[in-house]
Structure formats: C-alpha cells, structure tokens
Amino acid sequence: MSGNGNAAAKAEENSPKMRVIRVGTRKSQLARIQTDSVVAVLKSLYPGLQFEIVAMSTTGDKILDTALSKIGEKSLFTKELEHALEKNEVDLVVHSLKDLPTVLPPGFTIGAVCKRENPYDAVVFHPKFVGKTLETLPEKSVVGTSSLRRAAQLQRKFPHLEFKSIRGNLNTRLRKLDEFQEFSAIILAAAGLQRMGWQHRVGQILPPEDCMYAVGQGALGVEVRAKDQDILDLVSVLHDPETLLRCIAERAFLRHLEGGCSVPVAVHTAMKDGQLYLTGGVWSLDGSDSMQETMQATICVTAQQDDGPEDDPQLVGITARNIPRQAQLAAENLGISLASLLLNKGAKNILDVARQLNDAH
C-alpha cells in the first residue's frame, strides 16, 4: 500500500464513525415504500446519521391461505419485527398504524404517528367492469376483501353483491383480480394504492356513509423501545398533531370496545375549528345488525404546557411528549366515551355474536 493509501486508511480509522440507525420493516413492496418515505424524512432532518433498512417476513406475510380474522393472532404483522427490536437488532420499526394492536407488548411504544394519507377504502374493478360502481355491478358479482369490517358494511349497503376473502400483498391481490375471473372487484385501502403509485386503478372511493375505515387506516406508526429515550427523541419530530389526536381517539374507542380484526368495527374522525369529531360503529358479520354514534370534544393543540415527567406517558400505546398532554387525554376520553355509549346501547351483544360466528366458521 502506498504512503498516501496508509494515510487515508489511518485518517478514516480516526474519523468519528457515522452512527447507524437500523430501521425494521416488512418485506412487501408497499412496506418498503412506506419505510423509505419515513427514512427519507429522517435523513433530511439528521444528515449526520446513517440509516440502514432491515427487511423481514412476518407471520401475516407467511399465512396466506387463511382469512386474517380467523388466525386470531393480534400481532400478525408485527411480532417478528418487535422481536428484532427487543434483541436490539433494529432501533425502530415502521408499520401501517392499523396493524398495531391498541395494547402493545411491554417494553414497546409508538414513538411517532406520521401524517395520515387518504384513510378511505377504494374499489378496484376487474378490467371488464371498469367504469362501473359497486351499485351498478351485476347481481351476484363477487367482491374480494380480507376485512370483516368492509364486508359487513358493504353487504348491508349492496345486498346484490357477494363478498369473499382475498389474501396476499397488494401486488398479489391485483394479479388475482386481473388474471382470474373469480372477482369482479376488490376493496383496498386508498392510501396503499396511492403510495404504490396505482391511483389509476381506483374506480371508486367509498364515502363514510358506504364504508367507514379501520382504526388508524392511512397513517404510519413508528414503533420503538419504550425506554430508548434517544430514539424516542429522534422520531418524535415525525408526529403529525392532527393525525396523532384522531388516531388516539380511534384507538381508545377500539380498545374500550375490545375489538380487533375478528369483529367488524369502523370509525371516521375529523378535526374542525378546535373540535374533534369521532363516529364509530359496530356491525354483525353479515351487516344486518349495526349500531353507530357520533360524539365530539374540544381539543386545544396550540399551547404546550410543561406537564412534568409522567410515570407512563403512553396513551393507547403511543408516546408523544411534544404534543400537549391535555389534548391527548381529551382525544382518549372521546374514544372511551363513544365506546361506552355504544356498549350501553347493546353493542357488546353484536360484537360477541360476531366473534362467536367468526370463530365457528
């Protein structure tokens, strides 16, 4: 090696190494796109850090022949990633927020809730039905969805259609739709199609009166070790205050109902003039029985008062020290109050029957 080469090697040895932050993600194309978007923001905010993406398969990615609601595992798309987080193999994990249970395993927290994209569901039609809507599809057309929530609401609204489970990542589902004659249309989250650059396939966006969305749909959550203050501080800048408060209300509603993917529960939230509006509903599996209500709460997100350190800053699994605590508590209380109202009106019976029927099939 030349003298110059030696000098360069020595200088490199002595220069401070760039700190590497390892980011866990699922292997699917959509998960990678979502993770890349979060990492791009972090890179622009922290040019002195290096980010390395670690992709892995989860249980939910591997079990493709069973409807999600039948597997009965709450952390289908998160367990393996959390295991890597626990073993310090990664420092943070990017998830679709709707995949994260409302009660996280001990030692973990959601350190950031990123700005929500379109939370609604979209209909993608088989090429021969392009230009149609769910309403104008022929009698007995089969519509694919992996979600009890969508099937229950849409069966009620469009009784002339049949709904059948379809599994796989977005690419797989679209291929099943296009290449086989089994499905006339499939229902997918609009946000996923948007992130994949497939907006041109959207034939219809479903308004809340047709189909309310899943808790947290359209938002990304960044999960970290709850005691890793360094990483918590690092990702907290990603919090979008409005998305965060809407999702705290939604998650509190779901947690208080004790819902999950094995029962049809859906929400709709909006922030307007300092008011947070939450509509929540529960359905029987066939959609024939349902109950929904709307409540609102005043939320002040402007003034950050110093609350002092709390023993447990988490609300429904989320830590956001940089957002006013009072606003977060008001959002959580709104979710709990709406769930209590529905439970008092008999929602528990609808959910219990739905759960039993789902388990029996």
Query: Residue 17's pLDDT band (boundaries 50, 70, 90)?
Result: low
Give percent of the chain above pLDDT 70.
Answer: 85
Examine the domain organization and report whether 114 and 126 are in the same domain. no
H-state helical runs in the chain: 3-14, 29-45, 59-62, 68-71, 79-86, 148-157, 170-179, 190-195, 229-236, 241-257, 325-344, 347-360
Q: What is the pLDDT of residues 204-238, one digit of tens each?
A: 999 999 999 999 999 999 999 999 999 999 999 99
**Among 333, 305, 184, CA closest to 248:** 333
- Given CA atoms 151, 152, 157, 163 in this order, what sign does their dihedral have? positive
Examine the domain organization and report whether 192 and 237 are in the same domain. no
Residue 325 structure tokens: 């605590």
Give kind and range of the element (H or E) at residue 54.
strand 49-56
Looking at residue 58, what is its pLDDT?
61
Examine the domain organization and report whether 73 and 107 are in the same domain. yes
CA separation for the pair 19, 17 (Å, rounded): 6
In the listed set 155, 184, 205, which residue is the last one of a domain according to the structure? 205
Query: Residue 304's pLDDT band (boundaries 50, 70, 90)?
Result: low
pLDDT above 80 for 62: no
Residue 263 lies in a domain: yes
Residue 5 lies in a domain: no
Residue 41 lies in a domain: yes
Report how far apart, in Å, the C-alpha atoms of 73 and of each of 18, 100, 149, 188, 359 are. 39, 12, 17, 21, 12
DSSP of 246-310: HHHHHHHHHHHHT--TTS-EEEEEEEETTEEEEEEEEE-TTSSSEEEEEEEEE---S--------
Look up the CATH number of the domain holding residue 192. 3.40.190.10
Looking at residue 355, what is its pLDDT?
84
What is the Cα Rg of the chain in Å? 22
Examine the domain organization and report whether 68 and 127 are in the same domain. no
User: The domain containing residue 313 runs over which residues?
Assistant: 20-118+215-360
Examine the domain organization and report whether 199 and 236 are in the same domain. no
Residue 14 lies in a domain: no
Mean pLDDT of the chain: 88
Examine the domain organization and report whether 258 and 350 are in the same domain. yes
- Domains in the chain, number: 2
Instruction: Name which of 111-120, 147-156, 160-169, 255-264 the model is least confident about.
Output: 255-264
Residue 113 lies in a domain: yes
Residue 12 lies in a domain: no
Examine the domain organization and report whether 101 and 223 are in the same domain. yes
pLDDT above 60 for 242: yes
Q: How many CB atoms lie within 10 A of CB 113?
A: 28
Q: Is position 352 annotated as part of the catalytic site? A: no
Of residues 176 and 168, the one with the higher pLDDT is 176
CA separation for the pair 113, 222 (Å, rounded): 7
Examine the domain organization and report whether 182 and 329 are in the same domain. no
Query: Residue 358's pLDDT band (boundaries 50, 70, 90)?
Result: confident
In the listed set 180, 205, 230, which residue is the last one of a domain according to the structure? 205
CB 54 within 8 A of CB 25: yes
Residue 128 lies in a domain: yes
With a CB cutoff of 8 Å and minimum separation 6, the contacts of 219 are 96, 97, 98, 113, 114, 115, 116, 117, 119, 243, 247
Looking at residue 42, what is its pLDDT?
98
Residue 2 lies in a domain: no
Query: Residue 18's pLDDT band (boundaries 50, 70, 90)?
Result: confident
Query: Residue 357's pLDDT band (boundaries 50, 70, 90)?
Result: confident
Examine the domain organization and report whether 221 and 330 are in the same domain. yes
CA separation for the pair 231, 237 (Å, rounded): 11
pTM over the 0.85 mark: yes
Examine the domain organization and report whether 109 and 221 are in the same domain. yes
Catalytic site residue from 36, 61, 65, 99: 99
pLDDT above 90 for 346: yes
Look up the CATH number of the domain holding residue 219. 3.30.160.40
Region of 178 please: left (phi>0), alpha (psi -120 to 50) or beta. Answer: alpha
Looking at residue 15, what is its pLDDT?
40
**DSSP reduced 3-state for 153:** helix
In the listed set 184, 205, 226, which residue is the last one of a domain according to the structure? 205
Examine the domain organization and report whether 131 and 53 are in the same domain. no
Alpha-carbon torsion, ordered 222, 227, 233, 236, to 10 deg = 30
**Among 299, 300, 261, 304, CA closest to 277:** 299
CA separation for the pair 234, 231 (Å, rounded): 5
pLDDT above 70 for 45: yes
Examine the domain organization and report whether 114 and 46 are in the same domain. yes
CA separation for the pair 229, 332 (Å, rounded): 23
Q: How many CB atoms lie within 10 A of CB 127?
A: 7
